[in-house]
């Protein structure tokens, strides 16, 4: 599998409403941290998650997390 691009070496910490979200895995989306379809033609697909209630979410920005789509601190080793 190809390596994703790392749009930033820190999480996107966002106040997130309840609902379904498609987190960008490839790193190419112009709407980070969410998918905009830029992965078309690659082996990447978005990670779809459901947020049950409004909360602050640390979405991974480096795309190296072992707990997608959430930041696990992997960016500190880049």
Rg (CA), the chain: 12
For residue 75, the SS3 value is helix
Distance (Å, whole) CA 5 – CA 59: 15
Distance (Å, whole) CA 16 – CA 50: 11
Distance (Å, whole) CA 37 – CA 49: 16
Task: Domain ranges for the chain, please list them.
Answer: 1-61
Query: What is the residue-level pLDDT of the chain in tens, covering all 78 positions?
Result: 689 999 999 999 999 999 999 999 999 999 999 999 999 999 999 999 999 999 999 999 999 999 999 999 999 988
User: pTM for the whole thing?
Assistant: 0.93
Angle at the Cα of 45 from the Cα atoms of 14 and 49, rounded to 5 degrees: 40
């Amino acid at each position: 599998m190809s390596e994703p691009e790392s749009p930033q070496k820190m999480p996107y910490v966002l106040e997130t409403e309840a609902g379904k979200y498609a987190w960008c895995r490839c790193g190419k989306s112009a709407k980070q941290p969410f998918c905009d379809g830029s992965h078309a033609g690659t082996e990447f697909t978005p990670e779809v998650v459901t947020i049950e209630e409004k909360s602050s979410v640390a979405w991974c920005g480096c795309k190296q997390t072992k707990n997608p789509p959430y930041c696990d601190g992997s960016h500190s080793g880049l």
